[in-house]
Structure formats: structure tokens, C-alpha cells
Amino acid sequence: MGEGCRGADVGIVMKKKLKVLMLTTSFPRFRGDGAGVFVYHLCRGLDKAGVSVDILAPHAPGCNRDEVWEGLRIFRFPYFLPFHYQRLCYGSGVLKNMKGSLLAAFQVPSLILAEILSAFSKTIARNYDLVHAHWVFPQGFIALLLKAVQGIPMVATIHGSDVYGLKAPLLKAVNASVIHRANRCTVNSKSTAIMARSISGREDIDLIPMGVDTELFRAVEGNGVKESDRADKKTILFVGRLIEFKGVEYLLRSLPEVLKHYPRLRALIVGSGPQEGSLMDLTRRLGLERHVEFRGSVPQAELPRLYSAADVFVLPSIISRTGETEGLGVVLLEAMACGTPAIGTDIGGIPDIIKDGETGFLVRQKDPDDLASKVIEIFDNEKLRREMRQNALDHVRKRFSWPTIAVQFKRVYEETVEKDERHRENRQCL
């Protein structure tokens, strides 16, 4: 070994503040927007933990191209002209938008090309230590290109929607290659980890969930008092996109049984999506018009009040006909952080959040009777409600707060960069 290579076997000390480029197809388009808000909170947590983060995300009509939020530099790249015809990103998400709009599907190649060009431009100009890609395709694929051409180490994060229900052989092969070749790969739940391993054959996958903003999501006093603590009126809440795998149909089908015990019941359905019309039709067929209210999408700032006022939060997700399911279920964390008992189905990443009978209840998917019985049990048992609230709060604060999650990702970054630098030094010594 040459004299100058003696330090190659010694652990490399991080000598500067890490500089990371975050690639994502979903990020808040404006203040208070819920799109990709978990990526925003992760970036804020990383910034507070001492990591310099830039974000590269698709542009959307009405958005600023470049701006700074709380020290975070945000670069939004346009991918179709004129801007107001950009349809692929945001809303129901890339995959759903592709299936629902020919114009959106037509924009896939231009999105990938625009993101590749923007990513290479930013990495050349700003000298990043690492690229963190959210979702395997196209961000993971683009990060892999950056790694191959520029030698920048990469971390890929899988959120579930990018691996569940994969059927296209080419896309499956690309995803497998990205997962296998990434310097580090993280997933948001045990279920997602199993799917990622089955696709790629890679075993060393890190489980780091997305978190919840415990400063925003907390019990709201006054008009946030639980209905069950002041009257016999009961409120069930659902928050999420109105798409098949969210399983809202089965929540609606459970309500007639709950109404037998609690005739003043109301159910609030918060969110929008392609199933909204069919769910409204089902509500009418079941004779539930007086008990079900479709609120549409609401700003993030309004959600704590809604969570706090509900007696129980329900996420009745299912495995869809195409194999899609819940990667984690962040809305469960939001509800639990507001002190609201939660019920979710025992599929996907939901069991990573709900400890059955302790922090909430798990029920069988597509089983309205099982769901109704658990709702009634929570309504009936005040002692159980109090215990679940406290257990859920403790669980969320300990496991899912953003400072905790950010520290875990920072450690992954440091280990990745250190290993990459050691590998480079070892190669120079050969």
C-alpha cells in the first residue's frame, strides 16, 4: 500500500455539512398544500438536524419556479408547455393521473426527460454530496443515472405505491435494478420491505417510516371537544383520496349497523378523487344521506380541528384489484397525534402504526360487520377510549415524530457518504 493510502482503512470523519438533493414528484405547491407534505416535513427536520437540503420537484400551474421556504431551496421544473396543460403530477398522483387522462399519460416521457435534465443541471452547478430519491420511478432511476455518470451516491425511498401492484415487466425490471443498485434503500413499513425484497432480491433494506408533525397535529381545545364527551352524538372521520384501495365503500356499508346503536351518528368523508361520485351514489342507495357528509379536500391547517372533534378515525384500506394497498397510512398518525382513537384494516403498512387493542383496532379488510363492531366497542367504552388515546399519543411521539425520523435519515446519509468516500480512496490505492 502506498504511503498516502494509510488513511483508507480508518473511518472517515464527516468534515462538512452534508448537502443533499431531494428528488420527488410530489411536494407542496404553495403554503398549506397537502401534496407531498411528508417530503416537506422530512426536509425541514433534516435542515434542523444540520443537513443542507435542496428539493427538485415538478412545476404546477400557478406555482413559483424557484423559492426558499425556511432555508429550503425549492426548484420546480416545468415538464409540458403551456404550463396550464401540465396534468401528470399532483391531484390523485402520477399513476392514477396516467390512467385517468390521455393527456397525462402523454406527458410521462416529457416529465422524465425534464427531470433528468434538471437533475443533471442542479448537480453540476451545486456540488451535492448525495441524492435522495422518493419513489423508485422515475426519481430512483434518475438518481441511478446521476450515480453512474457523476459518481454521486444515492438513497432511494420506497413509499409502497411504487412497488405494489406492479405488472408491467419493463417497469418491474427498472424498479428491481434501482432497488438493487442504490447505495442505500429505505422503506416506510414492514409490508413495503417484503415487497421490495421480493422484487429485487436485496435484503439490506432500512425501515424508516414517514412521520407526523406533532406541533401541527395535536388535540384542539374548545370546538375540538369529542362529541362522545359531551353528548350522545357520535362522529366517524375518514381523511384521504377517494380511490379504490382506500376502501371507503366498506366504511359506508358498516354504518347501517352502527346506526342501530347510535342513531345520531354522522360520518365525515374528507378528500376527493375519482370514486367520489360512486360513493355518493352508494350513500343514497343505503339511505345514509342524513348521516354522511362529503367535505371534499380541506387545507392541512383545518385537519387538526376535524381530527380532534371526531370520536373515531377509520382508515378502511383494502388490497385493490390491481394489487395496490396502503404503504403506511400517515393519516392514522395525524389522527392519533390529535388524541383520536383509530381503526384500520390489517393490510399493508397499517399494522406498523396500530397495535391492535392498544393504540387502536385492526379489522379485516372488506368486512363491514367487523368494522362496525369495533366502532361500536370504542363508542361504548369510555375507559378504552381514554387508554387508546394516551397509548396512541405515546406511540406517535416516540416512534413517528419528525425529529426522530430526520435523525435516522441523517445517519443513513452519513454512513452512505462515508462508505462511498472510503470506497473511492481504496480504489485510488489499487
Domain residue ranges of the chain, discontinuous segments joined by +:
3-211+401-429, 222-399
Residue 129, exposed/middle/buried by CB under 10 A (0-12, 13-18, 19+)? buried
Amino acid at 428: Q
Query: d(Cα 139, Cα 112) in Å, to the nearest integer?
Result: 9
Query: d(Cα 104, Cα 363) in Å, to the nearest integer?
Result: 36
230-244 tens-digit pLDDT = 456 899 999 999 999
Query: d(Cα 149, Cα 313) in Å, to the nearest integer?
Result: 47
Report how far Cα 244 is from the mean position of its chain's Cα atoms.
17
Query: d(Cα 213, Cα 192) in Å, to the nearest integer?
Result: 22
- In DSSP terms, 212 is beta-bridged to 401
Per-residue model confidence (pLDDT) at position 224: 45
Please, what sign has the CA dihedral across residues 233, 234, 240, 242? negative
Domains 3-211+401-429 and 222-399 share a fold: yes
CA 176-180-185 angle, to 5 degrees, is 105
Query: Model-level pTM?
Result: 0.90
DSSP state, 10?
Answer: S
Phi, psi of 154 (to 5 degrees): -135, 150
Per-residue model confidence (pLDDT) at position 198: 94
CATH for 3-211+401-429?
3.40.50.2000
Per-residue model confidence (pLDDT) at position 426: 83
Query: d(Cα 273, Cα 255) in Å, to the nearest integer?
Result: 21
Sequential pLDDT tens for the chain (430 residues): 444 454 444 444 455 799 999 999 999 999 888 899 999 999 999 999 999 999 999 999 989 999 999 999 999 999 999 999 999 999 878 877 888 899 999 999 999 999 999 999 999 999 999 999 999 999 999 999 999 999 999 999 999 988 887 778 888 999 999 999 999 999 999 999 999 999 999 999 999 999 999 999 999 875 444 544 445 689 999 999 999 999 999 999 999 999 999 999 999 999 998 899 999 999 999 999 999 999 999 988 999 999 999 999 999 999 999 899 999 999 999 999 999 999 999 999 999 999 999 999 999 999 999 999 999 999 999 999 999 999 999 999 999 999 999 999 999 999 999 999 998 888 777 6
Which strand (E) or helix (H) includes residue 418? helix 402-429
- Do 21 and 56 contact (CB within 8 A), yes or no? yes
Q: Where are the beta strands (DSSP E) in 274-410?
A: 292-296, 312-315, 342-345, 360-363
246-305 tens-digit pLDDT = 999 999 999 999 999 999 999 999 999 889 999 999 999 999 999 999 999 998 899 999
**Residue 93: all three cell numbers together:** 398522483
Listed residue (206, 88, 75) closest to 138, CA to CA: 88
Per-residue model confidence (pLDDT) at position 15: 57
**Residue 348, Ramachandran bin (φ over 0: left; ψ between -120 and 50: alpha; else beta):** left
CATH for 222-399?
3.40.50.2000
**Residue 399: all three cell numbers together:** 416512534
